Amino acid sequence: MTRDAEFSSLGPGGEFDRIRAIWRRLGTAGGVGDDCAVVTLNGARLAFSTDLSVQDVHFRTGWLAPLEIGWRSAAAALSDLAAVAAQPRGILVSLGVPADWPGMLVAELMEGAAGAARQVGAEVWGGDLVRANRVLLDVAVVGELAGDPVWRRGAAPGDALWVTGELGGPNAALQAWQRGTEPDARARERFARPMPRIAEAAWLRDHGARAMIDLSDGLVADASHLAAASSVRCAIRAEEVPRHPAAGRMDPLEGGEEYELLVALPAAFDAAADFTRQFGLPLTRVGAMEQGAGVLVTEEGQVVEVGRVYRHF
Amino acid sequence: MTRDAEFSSLGPGGEFDRIRAIWRRLGTAGGVGDDCAVVTLNGARLAFSTDLSVQDVHFRTGWLAPLEIGWRSAAAALSDLAAVAAQPRGILVSLGVPADWPGMLVAELMEGAAGAARQVGAEVWGGDLVRANRVLLDVAVVGELAGDPVWRRGAAPGDALWVTGELGGPNAALQAWQRGTEPDARARERFARPMPRIAEAAWLRDHGARAMIDLSDGLVADASHLAAASSVRCAIRAEEVPRHPAAGRMDPLEGGEEYELLVALPAAFDAAADFTRQFGLPLTRVGAMEQGAGVLVTEEGQVVEVGRVYRHF
């Protein structure tokens, strides 16, 4: 939540800084800029997050079926729990739909959100349903922490930087839709039904993860958040970044909506093969943490200019 | 949450029933149709709810200042916790605002929501901020239960029916705005800055409350929810209903957005004066629970036709 990419869409300069400053002052239960609030209530250590998706900002109804819109919105929120290695327990789904939407489609939105929750062991606890002129879903998620949360701020120079899965599929799908063509089916699936990496996050925590973030804004943008929170530089070797088969050249670096995990692990970590055996998912070393600030992307030793930070369309 | 008045705006008959059936099947952590989900996590008994407010459905930006819009949205969600006698601990605020909204106004929305939370001992734990073509706020609330929750379903024939505060102010304000006139200042305040009755709810629980609901849809509409959940009839004497000084004849019966509490208490309850001394707020006996179903409103012994259930404009 409170993504920089989204804040920056509200306006440049002083106003943007003012909003961020106020948000940070109000929201004090997580690390600054972290994905989740972590709170102890009656001895239970809980993680909370919320993710708002709005038609024509985060999705278009012509691109996705209602079931997929519901799934995707819930998965985006659940992914915030993965980022701190919390186990999802329940979700609340607030829906806004136009008055002329058939009830069947509203039911499908809900079923989609419930499906994403069930997939990771969570239940739908409730929600709200109101009229709105566009479809919107806000999903609040509640998770339990078995151990300490993994924050964005724990990385140190010398740590290795790893990423789960293959990147670039969702952006390839988005770009196809925006060109007016039908996306590659595998890329479309990555956009429409992302899988929050909940069990994978717990495994990474148990294998020494020092800092972690989920890739909602894109590899380079989210690496910059990790770098800022940990006061380090993320050095990424573009040639190592695992590419989705349908991805264009810059999609894996710049494309958002991945919901894979970017994680800093001790340099000595060498259990990636175990991870892949357990989850059927690549875990790939893409760089390292260094002294400094920001993100440095190289390809075969040459600096790569990363043109844009991912923005919702 | 999941208010009948809002569901019914989505369409009549089969579709409406289908949505309700699915919602109820998905949302299993509260009583059917109850305001909150109540869940035990690691031994902590917690209540969750969420309330979505959309510009031009729940408020108009010309009527309220951003600070008031934020306050009102958070208060509406917090009032769901009052309905089960939970103590608010934290809120998550998801905001959608047009791209051209000044950051200052966004900050005021947040400050308003934070103010309503602080007023009842809760903190802002986080949220989300995205672009949208209209202003919208979804507030998820988390509360702790000191004892058993008070459900809608616990009333029995013979119980007395009581209401906190004075009714009709918010509807009087709404009607003035809709006529294009400026509302009475006291009525306006009731609409713009409702006070969730948190401490009052705990007091009522401790004094034997058997069933309770917050008045978001209006006295008669919410009494019908209480009646349905408890399988009783609510008999209301209109002449006893405490009227806000600015309220028109039917406002106290039909007007929504009150956020007062309607509570079934044992017939022998006689501590209303203590309640008023403690909270500076009337607690008024307005009727009784009877064998039967639905709501019967009488005035000086004559049956009163209540023309409409409160709908968001």
As a whole number of Å, the end-to-end CA separation of chain A is 18
Q: How far is CA A188 from CA A33, A172, B255, in A?
A: 30, 8, 47
Give the β-pairing of A123-131 and A87-97.
parallel
> Angle of helix A185-192 relative to helix A66-83, nearest 10 degrees?
70
- ipTM value: 0.87
Instruction: Give the nearest chain A residue to B95 (CA atoms).
Output: A52
Give the other-Cβ count within 10 Å of A38's Cβ. 21
Going by C-alpha positions, the residue among A224, A243, A248 that lies closest to residue A234 is A224
Point out which residues pair with B297 in neighbouring strands: B236
CB contact under 8 A, B97 and A10: yes
Q: Residue B15: closest CA among chain A residues belongs to which residue?
A: A103
CB nearest to B39's CB, from A6, A58, A90 = A90
Residue B36's pLDDT is 87
At B79, is the pLDDT very low, low, confident or very high (cuts 50, 70, 90)?
A: very high
Residue among A234, A249, A254 nearest A306 (CA): A254
What distance in Å separates residue A245's CA from the closest CA in chain B? 31
Average pLDDT over residues B238-264: 94
Residues of chain A in contact with residue B97, where contact means CB-CB under 8 angstroms, are 10
Q: Does B32 touch chain A (CB under 8 A)?
A: no
Chain A environment of B22 (Cβ under 8 Å): 107, 110-111
More reliable by pLDDT, B64 or A5: B64
pLDDT (tens digit, 9 = 90+) per residue, B16-29? 455 556 666 565 55
Tell if the CB–CB gap between A127 and B39 is shorter than 8 Å.
Answer: no
Closest residue in B to A42 (Cα–Cα) = B44
pLDDT tens for chain A, residues 1 to 313: 333 333 333 333 444 455 556 666 565 554 445 678 999 887 889 999 999 999 988 888 889 999 999 999 999 999 999 999 999 999 999 999 988 888 888 889 999 999 999 999 999 998 888 888 899 999 999 999 988 899 999 999 999 999 999 999 999 999 999 999 999 999 999 999 999 999 999 999 999 999 999 998 899 999 999 999 999 999 999 999 999 999 998 899 999 999 999 999 999 999 999 999 999 999 999 999 999 999 999 999 999 887 554 444 4
Shortest distance, CA A114 to any CA of chain B (angstroms):
7
Q: What is the pLDDT of residue A11?
A: 36
Q: Which helix (H) or strand (E) holds B299?
A: strand B294-299
Residues 6 or more apart whose Cβ sits within 8 Å of residue B2:
A126, A127, A128, A129, B20, B23, B27, B33
Quick one: angle between helices B169-179 and B185-192, nearest 10? Answer: 110
pLDDT of residue A20: 56
Q: Report H helices in chain B.
A: 4-8, 13-26, 66-83, 103-119, 169-179, 185-192, 198-206, 219-230, 251-254, 272-279
A contacts of B25 (beta carbons < 8 Å)? none
pLDDT of B102? 84
Nearest to A233 by CA among A287, A285, A294: A294
Tell whether pTM > 0.95. Answer: no
pLDDT score, position B34: 66
**Cβ separation of B136 and A140 shorter than 8 Å?**
no
Please tell me the predicted confidence (pLDDT) of residue B31: 46
A140 touches chain B (CB under 8 A): yes
Q: Which residues of B touch A57 (CB under 8 A)?
A: 130-132
CB-CB under 8 Å, A90 with B37: yes
C-alpha–C-alpha distance, residues A52 and A60, integer Å: 14
Model confidence at B127, in pLDDT bands (50, 70, 90)?
confident
Nearest-angstrom CA–CA distance, B271 and B268: 9
Question: What was the pLDDT predicted at B119?
Answer: 96
B119 CB neighbour count, 10 Å cutoff: 17
Q: Which residue type occupies A188? A: R
Which residue of B41, B51, B93 is in closest CB contact with A128? B51
Could you tell me if B134 lies within 8 Å of chain A, comparing CB atoms? Answer: yes
* b/e code A24-34 from CB counts within 10 Å (16+ = b): eebbebbbebb
User: Which of A107, A131, A142 is facing B18, going by the closest CB pair?
Assistant: A107
What SS3 state is found at B200?
Answer: helix
3-state helix, strand, coil in chain B (%, to 5): 35, 25, 35
Q: Which pLDDT score, from 0 to 100, does residue B9 have?
A: 34
pLDDT value of position A300: 92
- A126 contacts on B by Cβ (under 8 Å): 1-2, 27, 29-30, 36-37, 48-50
Region B119-124: mean pLDDT is 95
Q: Which helix (H) or strand (E) holds A206?
A: helix A198-206
Average pLDDT score over chain B:
88
Judged on CB neighbours under 10 Å (0-12, 13-18, 19+), B307 is exposed
